[in-house]
Every structure is written in C-alpha cells, then in structure tokens.
Amino acid sequence: MSVQINIAQDKGYLLIKIAGDMTIYHSIELKEKIFENIKNNNNIVIDLSGVLDMDTAGFQLLVLARKEAEREDKKLKIIGHSSAALKLFDLYGAVGFFGDKIKIPQEERENYSFAYGIKKQKVPV
C-alpha cells in the first residue's frame, strides 16, 4: 500500500489531497510534502476523502498542521473525512480540536460514538 499526495492551487487556497495510507510507514514523506507546501500558503485545505488507513502517526501530522496553522496564523480546513480518518478522530476526541464541519451520511452515524471532544477548543501552541 502506498500514499499519494496531490497538491493543487484552487481559487484562493491550496488543496492538499491525501489518498491511501496515512500511516507511520509514510509519515516522513507525508510530513515533508505537507509542510513544504503549507509554508508558503496562508489558506490551506486538506482533503482526506481518499485516506484508506490512518494511524496515530498520520493523525499526529494533522495535529501538527493544525498547531502550525495556529502558530503562523494561517487558515486550515480539513474536508472529506474518510471513515478511516473519522474513526480515529472519534476515538481521540479530536473533532473539536480541528473544528471542521463533518458530514456523515445518516446510515453511517452509528459507526461513531462522538461522546466526547466535540466542542470547539482552543489549540495549544
């Protein structure tokens, strides 16, 4: 399995689309690609719709991106949470931390608990 990272400049924002495995096996490559692009852009969207697997290392990179955005005063949006991503977000109570809107089809709702970490929170820098 592998990971693909597509970078595209869209109307006013930079779109980083990640597909495949967001795991420790690709974490070095992921970090490099993501942050080299974030550096020079102030409006970033990360699309997770193609993510098939995510582990703590992958999740942590999103945390890093979120913190970096806070630190550097950039806008960061995460969209298209795949079920693999969402499962980890749910487990880690991280929905509020990222603060993005998440759309889940009704029939998939029961796969997640969303019992905690829903409220929007301050990102520690």
Binding region for another protein (CB under 8 A): 24, 27-28, 30-31, 35, 55-57, 59-61, 63-64, 67-68, 71, 88, 91-94, 97, 113, 115-117, 121, 123-124
Q: How far is the CB of 11 from another protein (least distance, A)?
A: 26
Amino acid at 23: T
Shortest spacing between CB 49 and another protein, in angstroms: 21
Residue 102's identity, in one-letter code, is I
Half-sphere exposure for 97 (CA within 13 Å, toward CB): 20
Least distance between another protein and beta carbon 108 (Å)? 18
Dist. CA 47–CA 5, nearest whole Å: 10
